[in-house]
Amino acid sequence: MHEAFLERASAQDSNGDGSAALGAFLTLRLADRAGIHVADDADAIAYQARATRDFLSSLQSTTEVIHLFEIARIADAVGHGASRHLLCAPLLAFAYWLEQELRLTEALDVVDTAHRLGEQLRTPDLVAVQLQRARILRMLGRLPEARSTYVAARSLAQQVGDAHAVYLSRVGDAIVTRQLGNLPGSEAALREIVADASRDGDRDAEARARHDLGVALAQQENHGLAAVELFAAFTLYDRRSYKLRALSDLGESFKSMSWYRAAEDAFRLALADPATPQMRTLTMLELLDLSSLTGNRVAFESWRRTLHAARATMHPEAAVDLEIKLGVGHGRFGEFAMARRHFRAAMHHAKAHRLHAYMFRAEEQLGALDAGNDREPLAAATREPAETDPRVGEVADRLVELRTSAAL
């Protein structure tokens, strides 16, 4: 168990400090033992808890280490007789943080640690565990497992009358349907959830359903309706991080429709108050791409410098995506030698980090250059498509108002 953390510790020891990952391994082993201990183990658990806390105290205080301290604190309390179900909340909080950091294998390991508490969990806790586990499995592409876990979560939620959790499981299952390629089926399921959640007054469930409905519509090239649903999700969400994700997806839809000013408005609003450094980086990457797409060389160079300065703190996926977008951008500006250099760098880094999808993207772009299909026409920044739905224009106008009021 917890091999993913040992792998990170080993990898970082060759390139830097892997102590935090080792601290996570030790903390989770403590949680395992506290979760199944018998009375005779109390002294041993107390010793293990002290040793774990001492190790964590030697580490730099980071978000990860703060999470680990809380798990160790609760595990120590469990060793002194506190209820073992108390371990669930800090474990799930740590797993969620790992999700946001895209450490999905580690996040699944932590959720499974909570799941192994088994009979010690109350049913509402088990519902939360199953929903989080299903989401991580879905993000890992393990779709059949994700679907069965959503079904299990929904059954438990129905047993305890948790209508909101039932909605979350339905939304998750609809996303799995989309990921399996059944876009019309996903759209139909999400429209049904939107209607039901709106009727029941569950704003959060309605927002999530509208958000994923927008994604499903966008993947069917219906970007106009997608923009309407994504903006509705943005207005319904209470959580800031969810609002910003909706704005980012909204920017993508406007960019796909060639509404470049509206796309920039959405991305700028998302960038103004990012929930995480990761989200800030992803939004800047989109603005970099948009600047080259519209032929704005000054903005392209500005974003290039800003992102280059932040490269050392980027996740591998973002760093490789940066190289690809720089290659595409230089190609759009006719700088083909520079474009090739960035595509080759992307291929090198993607191979080193086993990012196969990014490897294929970089190879495809480099192949297009070598085949002579090496320059996309620069788009006019003011170009707008023949979109007839007046609601799309209304959404664009609202973005202008929001950006103006925020003085961005």
Segment holding 8, helix H or strand E: helix 3-15
Contact (CB, 8 A) for 220 and 201: no
pLDDT higher than 60, residue 299? yes
Distances, alpha carbon 28 to alpha carbons 6, 20, 67, 94, 107, in Å: 12, 12, 11, 11, 12
When pLDDT is cut at 50, 70 and 90, the band that residue 380 belongs to is very low
d(CA 102, CA 329): 26
Q: Are 331 and 369 in contact (CB under 8 A)?
A: yes
Q: Please spell the DSSP secondary structure of 143-177, one letter per residue.
A: HHHHHHHHHHHHHHHHHHT-HHHHHHHHHHHHHHH
Tell me the average pLDDT across 384-400.
Answer: 83
Enter the tokens of residue 174. Answer: 């609809």
Buried b (16+ CB within 10 A) or exposed e, 152-187: bbbebbeeeebeebbbbbbbbbbbbbbbeeebeebb
**Residue given tokens 């085949």 in the structure block:** 371
The reported pLDDT for the residue numbered 407 is: 67
* Higher local confidence (pLDDT), 276 or 211: 211
Mean residue pLDDT of the chain comes to 91
CA 238/CA 204 separation, integer angstroms: 7
pTM (two decimals) = 0.86
A 10 A CB-CB count for 224 gives 22
Residue with the bigger pLDDT between 382 and 158: it is: 158
List C-alpha distances in Å: 399 to 221, 223, 283: 22, 16, 16
* Amino acid identity, position 349: H
| Band of pLDDT at residue 388, cut at 50, 70 and 90 | low
Helical (H) or strand (E) element with 115: helix 104-115
Q: What is the mean pLDDT of residues 86-99?
A: 96
Other beta carbons less than 10 A from residue 53's beta carbon: 18
